[in-house]
Structure 1
């Protein structure tokens, strides 16, 4: 009898455990809440919480501490709730979010509001006093070999594959911040670091699978925050590469769409895919057909990159809050926004404005890859070009792709005179500066992670490299420099693909045959590139006349281009001789800028230059002269 009773009790215990486990499986349904936490005292008091879990939409929601729920949006997908609350006057600490069914509590979750950093809202972004160093973190330096391959990501490290993961990471960047700083650069733009869990070609991280998580092969969220902290100790700025136009096909939301119109889904395409036409001019072409506009803006950037529908207000709020979350969490100093002009233009203008309203001194530069100055100027904040069709992007900065176009050809055009080739290309580019509402807030560059290496284009001719960089460092705007150019790194994407222009930096991996991070590890040729770059950009650091001065330029003669940067207290004369012959310049032509100056200091050579009628300039050489 006792044994039967014991068995009966044992069976009841087992049944209770089974019921409990069954209850947990039914009721513990919240898998994600995003943002994962927030801050008190934000300027915009409305916070949209995305709650995700199996069949979560059937529950009612309530929040403790008299937090006002503004709206609860349930979509056609029952696994989502979008809960908008007011955070006005909320204090740092935890609140409780309770889910219930017919009055019965099912699950209660704690949600945290953190204290903001002091003066967080008035942080200064990057500006024309900065010089920006661009890296691809997977190819820069491997500081932690233990995270080269990780259990939670599919693609594993294979350094023999030019298009594979090579193991560079955040720790590798931190380890070499002094190298970047000593070289003369004050800010760092890293291509994206968020998780990209595509099975192949994931190293570039533009097909992101989790917008709140650093890819574990790069490190952790805490590592990213530590990178910003270490940079700020060196008075350097961190710029995040933010992607609004597309996500990766493996993003958890793409796998279970909140709404069908979360992405641009093409009914006639395979799995909703149709490639963009890339005709960005349809964004502002007053004669464009709707068909062509749709084909550009709503087409996918690639098969693994679904095109996001920013006109969906839930998505727009999601990416706006995510961007603000990273600024606040990691203490960022700026954004570079990928493929900015492919977005829904009205929606991306709202996204940009929301960020700049929260951080008025922040800076955002958009990738507007166009080949006409008026078309690029259209996208800068307060553009008179954009005003023609009542559009204002609110975007503070754009990238000067037309200058890049000129830079990649003109130093190979060496004839003494040509109407439209050689240095006239640079001159003509700057004649259109009147189109831009904020000319000093333009990003100027010779190359980046999507273009052929500048030293490949100019066949390792260091004289041409010096001409290129003398220009980039002294014209209006913010110079951006691509890692490895300072050691003459080569790369030809046309012949060998993108991996060739994204080579590993020598010395960034244990066991590398050479270490270009040190003078001893560089070849004589590499040191020649490096030393020139270091002298030039360190000189630029303290030159307000370059950062914010005006420009006066002279029409090139004999393929020699002369311009001055000047303000009320200082003048700098820049001479670029693109000819294969030495040239003698009649200084009387530049009298309105030289004025009473009798001599100047040439900063590249250190020589004193007398202004005594003529100035001799060696073939294929540059001079940067501080007038005294």
Structure 2
């Protein structure tokens, strides 16, 4: 994630003011309840303990009881009298409504209704995304505007301004729902949307990573009900919804930042301190303690307070918020932003709490590291991390080293020991480090990187090579919205350039790439290839779970096989600018007695018994017969 933006410096004296506010706040006014989080809960959860946050003037000065036999096991008060954390035991309690009653020494009484709702059938056993899926990453504000009525809202500071590259452009949940059939037609079976919860920053709020209310969908995107409807519409199409969850930070406009529940809710220093971004210090046995502290506790930017996962109240809040969204919206997975910026023990507890509740639930973490060993450290049951007695419990990591290789390799026309297609071979040769290579998110771009079509100058041959790799190697491929129609964008011009509006997502757009007849010939060439490739992949168990054997590249060509007991796929990439003749005797252990191979894209049949001729900068995906 890259969210560094040019906003005014606002951290100065923030913590001091909050602390003074907590200590000198008046305690004389009558209590009232303004916030209850979670707003409701579900019966029959694996962990029966529920921590309910109640916020209101002087609420901590009251004694609390619960009706209907609900047992209160703990009441936690902090230095802020306007918060109280009430823990109840939901074990052996079915779906029910009950009442919290607050009584003061002055015999004043206040009540708050609360509900435990019935869970969906087999909710705990819900399936999640896996290597059979292709994940489509989109930014809702830039994808499609399905409801013009929510473009601007009185409750949020930043208003609609499509003329401003970094402004709010009006894309929303309704726009996603209206184009689900298009996304499915590309070959996608899952959607990862960047965050949808409210971000009430005054500017640059369209990426929504600076959330101001994590129980509420941003009204410019729609409502909580709209988000649940998105999941329902996707499930009708056998698609999966993956929420982008942020454990490391909130936005400075979050309602709690105006009045912290406790000083320890966030990480802080004597003066504003930004993270050093050097997450290697977490496993570095030679690292200094101050470097570790700044890496983990430092803020991402001045407008994103760093959440303190070492604080049990904060950690429990985040665990319950994540589970609440899974139950409420019927989610199929999480992508976790800046996963290893958080306290290592805290983030591991957060992850394990969710997967304990949902054993099949997949969570992929953004672990932007520069080597396979560093990334493998963060995957669940890593033998590398076990050396330090650590387990993140994170099922999946994003394969950033493959991304780094794939954005360079296809411009290196001359192969060598370290250059050209050898970069891909070397990347996969380190797969032994990972506990589960099939459960890694693989990609060649995302919302924080240069667009792949920009990187390769809209050379569709190179795009096809990159997509072929994503579609045929181990892992879960992720496609960034618009690349399938040739969209480009230069990060050097700012993040807005890599997050442009999808053509046809707005009424009056001159080009509507959502429909076949609206695409230009160039867009159609990109789309037709991408759609055919990933729709083919949908049914290929040999790709989803088959084994891989690859051969050392020669003359900047790379050959690998995916195989299982039923099927064998042979993939050939010619990364040179010359036609190559590839002798097939070398591949006997995988070629076996197969005689021919049918190319998935061209549907031409090739004789593989002696040699295969492959054009410059091209690929062949052969189903062997």
Common fold: TM-score over 0.5 = yes
Matching of residue 91 in structure 1 with residue 90 in structure 2: no
In 1, the alpha carbon distance for the partners of 2:573 and 2:450 equals 23
What is the Cα deviation at residue 65 of structure 1? 1.6
What is the Cα deviation at residue 27 of structure 1? 4.2
Deviation by residue 1:348-400 (Cα, 9 ceiling, x = unmatched): 00000000000000100000001100000000000001001000000000000
What is the Cα deviation at residue 67 of structure 1? 1.3
In 1, the alpha carbon distance for the partners of 2:376 and 2:598 equals 36
Count residues with an aligned counterpart. Answer: 598
Deviation by residue 1:276-307 (Cα, 9 ceiling, x = unmatched): 10001011101100011111111101111011
Note if contact 1:600-1:625 (Cα within 8 Å) is conserved in structure 2: yes
Equivalent residue, structure 2, for 1:334: 333
What is the Cα deviation at residue 448 of structure 1? 0.3
For 1:158, what is the secondary structure of its paired residue? coil
Note if contact 1:549-1:567 (Cα within 8 Å) is conserved in structure 2: yes
Gapped regions of structure 1 (runs ≥ 5):
1-24
What is the Cα deviation at residue 68 of structure 1? 1.2
Equivalent residue, structure 1, for 2:378: 379
In 2, the alpha carbon distance for the partners of 1:104 and 1:396 equals 52
What is the Cα deviation at residue 557 of structure 1? 0.4
Equivalent residue, structure 1, for 2:527: 530
Deviation by residue 1:309-358 (Cα, 9 ceiling, x = unmatched): 00000000000000000000000000000000101001100000000000
Equivalent residue, structure 2, for 1:22: none
Note if contact 1:142-1:171 (Cα within 8 Å) is conserved in structure 2: yes
Equivalent residue, structure 1, for 2:177: 174
For 1:104, what is the secondary structure of its paired residue? coil
Equivalent residue, structure 1, for 2:208: 205
Equivalent residue, structure 2, for 1:486: 484
Equivalent residue, structure 1, for 2:579: 582
Note if contact 1:574-1:622 (Cα within 8 Å) is conserved in structure 2: yes
Equivalent residue, structure 2, for 1:426: 424
Structure ID, larger Rg: 1
Equivalent residue, structure 1, for 2:508: 511
User: Pick from 207, 228, 232: which aligns with 1:229?
Assistant: 232
Deviation by residue 1:543-562 (Cα, 9 ceiling, x = unmatched): 00000011100011000010
What is the Cα deviation at residue 445 of structure 1? 0.2
For 2:517, what is the secondary structure of its paired residue? coil
In 2, the alpha carbon distance for the partners of 1:558 and 1:277 equals 42
For 1:411, what is the secondary structure of its paired residue? helix
User: Pick from 196, 199, 210: which aligns with 2:199?
Assistant: 196
Runs of 4+ in 1 over 6 A off after TM superposition: none
What is the Cα deviation at residue 104 of structure 1? 2.4
TM-score by length of 2: 0.95
What is the Cα deviation at residue 143 of structure 1? 0.1
**How is 1:128-527 mapped onto 2 (pairs within 5 angstroms)?**
128-267=131-270, 269=271, 273-415=272-414, 417-494=415-492, 496-527=493-524
In 2, the alpha carbon distance for the partners of 1:324 and 1:502 equals 30
Deviation by residue 1:504-537 (Cα, 9 ceiling, x = unmatched): 0000000111101011111101100000000000
Matching of residue 539 in structure 1 with residue 536 in structure 2: yes
Equivalent residue, structure 1, for 2:109: 106
Matching of residue 610 in structure 1 with residue 607 in structure 2: yes
Note if contact 1:134-1:189 (Cα within 8 Å) is conserved in structure 2: yes
Note if contact 1:45-1:86 (Cα within 8 Å) is conserved in structure 2: yes
The 1:105/1:67 distance shift into structure 2, 3 A limit, reads: farther
For 2:252, what is the secondary structure of its paired residue? coil
Matching of residue 35 in structure 1 with residue 38 in structure 2: yes
In 2, the alpha carbon distance for the partners of 1:612 and 1:236 equals 40
**How is 1:48-63 mapped onto 2 (pairs within 5 angstroms)?**
48-63=51-66
Note if contact 1:27-1:107 (Cα within 8 Å) is conserved in structure 2: no
In 1, the alpha carbon distance for the partners of 2:245 and 2:45 equals 21
Equivalent residue, structure 2, for 1:571: 568
**How is 1:3-42 mapped onto 2 (pairs within 5 angstroms)?**
26-27=29-30, 29-42=32-45
Note if contact 1:98-1:105 (Cα within 8 Å) is conserved in structure 2: no
Note if contact 1:57-1:79 (Cα within 8 Å) is conserved in structure 2: yes
Note if contact 2:568-2:624 (Cα within 8 Å) is conserved in structure 1: yes
What is the Cα deviation at residue 609 of structure 1? 1.2
What is the Cα deviation at residue 255 of structure 1? 1.1
Note if contact 2:30-2:58 (Cα within 8 Å) is conserved in structure 1: no
Mean Cα deviation higher: 577-586 or 603-612: 603-612
In 1, the alpha carbon distance for the partners of 2:342 and 2:352 equals 15
What is the Cα deviation at residue 102 of structure 1? 2.3
In 2, the alpha carbon distance for the partners of 1:570 and 1:103 equals 77
Note if contact 2:31-2:58 (Cα within 8 Å) is conserved in structure 1: no
Gapped regions of structure 2 (runs ≥ 5):
1-27
